[in-house]
Chains A and B, each alone.
Chain A
Amino acid sequence: GEDVEQSLFLSVREGDSSVINCTYTDSSSTYLYWYKQEPGAGLQLLTYIFSNMDMKQDQRLTVLLNKKDKHLSLRIADTQTGDSAIYFCAEAPEGNLIFGKGTKLSVKP
């Protein structure tokens, strides 16, 4: 069945890079997504990558996709305290989003 796995917690120091990892199961997913949820709020789309790409960069964010291993990662450069949130990886193999359980990123000053 479809499943998206992520580690639950990550703690980094302000200014360091954060890397959040995700594995997914359905190789037919055309798009893979990263959503961010700040405390007490809904989710917002952070970035996404087409399955025919290996990498996508958007300012401080870098998404890497290893399609062979079904592994997706999100790198946040120069992590700030405002980046503290839960980050969700998601795939949409048959038209509906399947989310991972979310990685809670804590940024220490």
Chain B
Amino acid sequence: NAGVTQTPKFQVLKTGQSMTLQCAQDMNHEYMSWYRQDPGMGLRLIHYSVGAGITDQGEVPNGYNVSRSTTEDFPLRLLSAAPSQTSVYFCASSETGARETQYFGPGTRLLVL
């Protein structure tokens, strides 16, 4: 049982480049979410999904796209990276919703130049 895995661990992008942050879980969890963590800002919800085929916006969705074609995977796409997207990104999952124990991945550290 690997839990929640995220790749890559680190990434440097140039402004305007696109990339996909990968997140996978092997616990058959329905609920998955993406957060960004910035110094002094805590964690802010970007997008979330309550099951395969269903996604919704969180607090800070602009500049990010998600899809949920399988229960296991919940990739986060940056279409045109901006320096303001420099952050640490965490993926989390739980059985059915945010009110249950959230299992977090180890994070992806992203630097946009």
- Chain A residues in the interface with B (C-beta under 8 A): 4, 8, 30-31, 35, 40-45, 48, 88, 92, 95-97, 99-102
Partner of B40, one of A35, A88, A101: A101
Q: How many A-B residue pairs have CB under 8 A?
A: 49
Chain B residues with CB below 8 A from A35, complex form:
102
Interface residue stretch chosen among B12-20, B42-50, B68-76, B79-87: B42-50
Interface of A is mostly: loop
Knowing A42-B106, A43-B104, A44-B104, say if A95 contacts B42 (CB, 8 Å): no
A97 to B35, CA, bound (A): 10
> Which B residues are within 8 Å of any A CB, using their own CB?
4, 33, 40-45, 48, 58, 90, 92, 97-99, 101-102, 104-107
Output the least CB separation between B59 and chain A (Å).
8
11 contacts between A and B (CB under 8 A): A40-B107, A42-B4, A42-B104, A42-B105, A43-B43, A43-B90, A92-B99, A96-B33, A96-B48, A99-B42, A101-B42
Q: Contacts of A95 on B, CB cut-off 8 Å? A: 97-99
A42-B102 Cα distance, complex, nearest whole Å: 11
- Asked if B43 and A41 make an inter-chain contact with CB atoms under 8 angstroms apart, the answer reads no
Closest 3 CB pairs of A and B: A42-B104, A101-B42, A99-B43
Q: Which residue of B40, B42, B107 has the most chain A CB atoms within 10 A of its CB atom?
A: B42
